[in-house]
Chain A
Amino acid sequence: MLNIYLGDGWNDREDVIMATAVYFNNIYEDDWIEDPFTKKMVLDIDETEIVNTNMAISPVLGGIPITDLSGGVKTLILINNDPTHIYNASQCGDNCAKWLLEIGRAKDITVRLGYIMEFDEDVHTEGKHVFDIRIVNTDTVVHNQREFEHVCIELGV
């Protein structure tokens, strides 16, 4: 399940990585890049095709090193591959939300988030079961965007 800690309370924990993009550049492993799931995420978010573990093709920049992928996709790759840290999902834009949910459906992950991410465009889904996200701060599970936003607002995010 996707577990989210909302706000700044964990920012000073040793296992929390806020500067995810720099961290990724220095620790990423080739296996993570070769993973077909990574390639799908990179193609969707960055519209970039991974050629090999050293290079990708961006429609804007041409050939780029892996370290030039977006901060959002780097953070998702870290979240998917390194369960020993809690990563700052604020580095992921709304276009990363569906991938966070997908990773959370496959395994237990915990991230830190400092803004109201849009997991689902429809906010008038009261009562509907669209996803499962556990809010660590309140130890509650929210099931749709309306419930998620309600908790965020109550917590002052």
Chain B
Amino acid sequence: MVGSYDIEVRQRRLVYKLSIKRNITIILGHSASGKTKLIELIRSYNLLGNESGVTINCDRPCIVLAGKIADISAAVHGNAGSIFFMDEDYTRIMKTSEFAAIVKNADGYFVLVTRDKLSSLPYSANAIMHLRKESRYNEYKPKITINILTPRYDNIPLNDPFRPDTLLVEDSKSGYQFFQKLVEKKDCTCLSAGGRDNIPKFIEQYDDKEGVLLVIVDGAAFGTELQGTIKAMKHKTRLEIYLYMPESFECLLLRSGIVKCENPDILEHTEVYADSAEYFSWERYFTWYVKEMCNIVGKVYHKSKISQWCITDINMRKMRKALPPGMLLDE
């Protein structure tokens, strides 16, 4: 499934407004913020339609998943093109590899209510949401509460200038090798965390000395580690830390023009192109796209090892231009 979908779920006293554009969206937040009620309203509508007193406005069917893993699998496969919702009572199932396999191949989007880290699922840092409440009063009618799905963590703009003396990259493959080359002539050390799971612990154990640390991660699949990373960053009182979360390294290759992007719209409206049935995350979509673009011009892109054509001086300049304006990685 591709696309962005606005969902409005309404009953007499409650309105929910959601906008979903990725295959996995996580809803967390305070208790009593209305998460379970949202699921209940959709379930009522699933069972009774308009007779439930609930109305749902959405271009796709909204379906609540429940039961055992086989029931969930059958419901997902039998309702291609739907938006599937699961409440936190099913967290045990959400954490299984079987559930991850269902999501991976699904022609549909998943909205999961849970505060637990779902390590088997590659969800985006931007797909972690909570419900923000607004109330409307009317003298003659009951108060209406409007719950709007809102990002839980604000993206920190990296516009104010800073000059990192250490660069931490989540993987040890092409992205790390590229950034190592990018800063090799500067007074900046490039380190690999050896996997995104290690980022929070790496920062936590990092010496809290005066300095500037820039952490670059693939935002498209960093949702699992975001809470731990933000907490670890707050623990460092002397070290200045910046977190940069492009969708992926391959997305940066396209954005910078190092790899020519035939359709720049894929960078602005990825949801229109990255089919959930084919790509577990946008990171995988961008990897596929970079390989395709390279094939056209007779180049080869390896995720495991950066190619020499990629790390020329011209390409280093292109990347510096594409990075946020505050990030001073001058030649």
List chain A positions with a Cβ less than 8 A from chain B.
8, 11, 18-22, 45-48, 59-62, 70-73, 88, 90-96, 114-116, 123-124, 146, 149-150, 152-154, 156-157
Instruction: Known contacts A60-B13, A61-B14, A157-B228; decide if A93 and B29 are in contact (CB<8 Å).
Output: yes
Tell whether, in the assembled complex, residue B14 and residue A60 are in contact, meaning their CB atoms are under 8 Å apart.
yes
Q: Can you list 16 residue pairs at the A/B interface with Cβ under 8 Å?
A: A8-B95, A18-B89, A48-B32, A60-B34, A60-B143, A62-B142, A70-B36, A71-B31, A72-B31, A90-B91, A90-B116, A91-B89, A93-B33, A116-B231, A149-B232, A156-B200
Instruction: Specify which of B91, B117, B237 is in contact with A18 (CB 8 Å cutoff).
Output: B91
Tier of interface size on chain B:
35 or more
Complex CA distance for A59 and B144, rounded to whole angstroms: 10
B279 at the interface (CB under 8 A from A): no
Count the A-B residue pairs with Cβ separation under 8 angstroms: how many? 107
User: Which residue of chain B has its CB nearest to the CB of A69?
Assistant: B32
Instruction: Specify which of B35, B88, B89, B204 is in contact with A153 (CB 8 Å cutoff).
Output: B204
> Within 8 Å CB of A48, what residues of B?
32
Tell whether, in the assembled complex, residue A71 and residue B30 are in contact, meaning their CB atoms are under 8 Å apart.
no
Tell whether, in the assembled complex, residue B237 and residue A47 are in contact, meaning their CB atoms are under 8 Å apart.
no
B90 at the interface (CB under 8 A from A): yes
Interface string of B77-95 (1 = CB under 8 A from A): 0000000000111111001
> Within 8 Å CB of A156, what residues of B?
197, 200-201, 228
Tell whether, in the assembled complex, residue B31 and residue A59 are in contact, meaning their CB atoms are under 8 Å apart.
no
Tell whether, in the assembled complex, residue B95 and residue A11 are in contact, meaning their CB atoms are under 8 Å apart.
yes
User: Which residue of chain B has its CB nearest to the CB of A118?
Assistant: B231
Complex CA distance for A59 and B142, rounded to whole angstroms: 10
> Within 8 Å CB of B116, what residues of A?
90, 114-115
Interface string of B230-262 (1 = CB under 8 A from A): 011011010000000000000000000000000
Complex CA distance for A61 and B147, rounded to whole angstroms: 13
Tell whether, in the assembled complex, residue B91 and residue A60 are in contact, meaning their CB atoms are under 8 Å apart.
no
Tell whether, in the assembled complex, residue B201 and residue A91 are in contact, meaning their CB atoms are under 8 Å apart.
no
Instruction: Known contacts A71-B31, A157-B117; decide if A149 and B13 are in contact (CB<8 Å).
Output: no
Tell whether, in the assembled complex, residue A95 and residue B228 are in contact, meaning their CB atoms are under 8 Å apart.
no
Instruction: Specify which of A21, A116, A124 is in contact with B237 (CB 8 Å cutoff).
Output: A124
> Within 8 Å CB of A116, what residues of B?
227-228, 231
Instruction: Specify which of A46, A115, A124, A157 is in contact with B32 (CB 8 Å cutoff).
Output: A46
Taking A19-B89, A21-B88, A115-B115 as given, write out 12 further A-B residue pairs in contact, using a Cβ cutoff of 8 Å, ordered by the A residue number.
A21-B89, A45-B32, A60-B14, A61-B13, A61-B14, A91-B88, A95-B31, A96-B31, A115-B227, A123-B234, A150-B204, A153-B228
Complex CA distance for A45 and B145, rounded to whole angstroms: 17
Instruction: Known contacts A124-B237, A153-B231; decide if A59 and B143 are in contact (CB<8 Å).
Output: yes
User: Which residue of chain B has its CB nearest to the CB of A70?
Assistant: B32
Instruction: Known contacts A70-B36, A123-B235; decide if A11 and B92 are in contact (CB<8 Å).
Output: yes
Instruction: Specify which of A90, A146, A150 is in contact with B115 (CB 8 Å cutoff).
Output: A90
User: Which residue of chain A has its CB nearest to the CB of B66?
Assistant: A22
A-B residue pairs, 7 tightest by C-beta? A72-B31, A114-B116, A19-B89, A70-B32, A93-B30, A93-B31, A115-B115
User: Which residue of chain A has its CB nearest to the CB of B198?
Assistant: A156
Residue in B143, B197, B231 whose Cβ sees the most chain A Cβ within 10 Å: B231
User: Which residue of chain B has its CB nearest to the CB of A74?
Assistant: B31
Instruction: Known contacts A91-B88, A150-B235, A152-B231; decide if A72 and B204 are in contact (CB<8 Å).
Output: no
Tell whether, in the assembled complex, residue B231 and residue A149 are in contact, meaning their CB atoms are under 8 Å apart.
yes
